[in-house]
Amino acid sequence: MSHPTVYHIPACPFCQRLDILLTLKGRRDEIDFQVIDITRPRPDWLLQKTRGTTALPVLETADGHIIKESLVILQYLEDIYPERPVAQRDPYRRAVENMLTRMDGEFFSLGYGWLMNQDSARREVLREGMLKQYAQLDDFLREHAPVGPFLFGEFGWAETVFTPFFQRFWLLEYYENFELPGDDRYARVRKWIDACVAHPAAQQVAREEVVKLYYDYAKGAGNGALLPGRKQSSFAFEPDWRGRPWPPKDKYRHSASDLELGL
């Protein structure tokens, strides 16, 4: 191979991180992105490369080495394309950046947990859990970047890590009627989110695309799994999401058929 190859899933937030970083660097065309169909078992040739693991993205270097985990791949890309640094170079600023990005795990775990929840009685507890996560981000930003909108002067490493999940949590707005309260407790993080999702380097997905593709996640079936009575995953490539109807918003009292979803 003359260029590194990334094996990825369309609309996957972990994969989108790589796309954003490369776009910021002006290097997007120097990586060969190969799409893997999440609705089918991983092909044997890919499992041989990954030694049996199925998580994506995976990067194969130009000389055939395999690198896994999105944050590890991000750092590799940052290192091989040092021009237009995205990560901070000052040691203290890099430490601040890393402290913020270390907060991503619980943030997206709680968000996805709520998205996939099927017990309507737990909605308020899950809502409060997400509000706590946003409040923690708000507090961090007020301490380290009170003016903003970004952590430092421009869209950078922390924004690359978090923005795909800000966009995926459009799903919580749609399926759970969740929105940040309008009071000052969330004003700083709201400013950050708005700037992140509007940035030109982060336009790989549309709200409509996310809502339609992730319907099965909202019903508790992730990673291309089929729900009872269904023959196609909402992550199917065909028909294209643009031609499908919007899914029903009430995920607790109704399970849409393939026909209702335009599949």
pLDDT confidence of residue 243: 97
pTM reported for the whole predicted model: 0.95
The percent of residues above 70 in pLDDT, for the chain, comes to 100
pLDDT confidence of residue 1: 58
Question: What confidence tens digit (pLDDT) does each residue in 69-79 have?
Answer: 999 999 999 99
Single out the residue of 51, 1, 23 nearest to residue 164, CA to CA. Answer: 23
pLDDT confidence of residue 2: 77
- 30: tokens are 């120097």
Q: Tens place of pLDDT for every residue, the chain, 263 residues? A: 578 999 999 899 999 999 999 999 999 999 999 999 999 999 999 999 999 999 999 999 999 999 999 999 999 999 999 999 999 999 999 999 999 999 999 999 999 999 999 999 999 999 999 999 999 999 999 999 999 899 999 999 999 999 999 999 999 999 999 999 999 999 999 999 999 999 999 999 999 999 999 999 999 998 889 999 999 999 999 999 999 999 999 999 999 999 999 99
How does DSSP assign the chain, residue by residue? --S-EEEE-TT-HHHHHHHHHHHHHT-GGGSEEEE--TTSPPPHHHHHHHTT---S-EEE-TTS-EEESHHHHHHHHHHH--SS--S--SHHHHHHHHHHHTTHHHHHHHHHHHHH---GGGHHHHHHHHHHHHHHHHHHHHHH-SS-SSSSSSS-HHHHHHHHHHHHTHHHHHHH-----SSGGGHHHHHHHHHHHHSGGG-SS-HHHHHHHTHHHHTT--TTPPPTT-SS-TT-SSS-GGGSPPPPS-TTT----TTTTT-
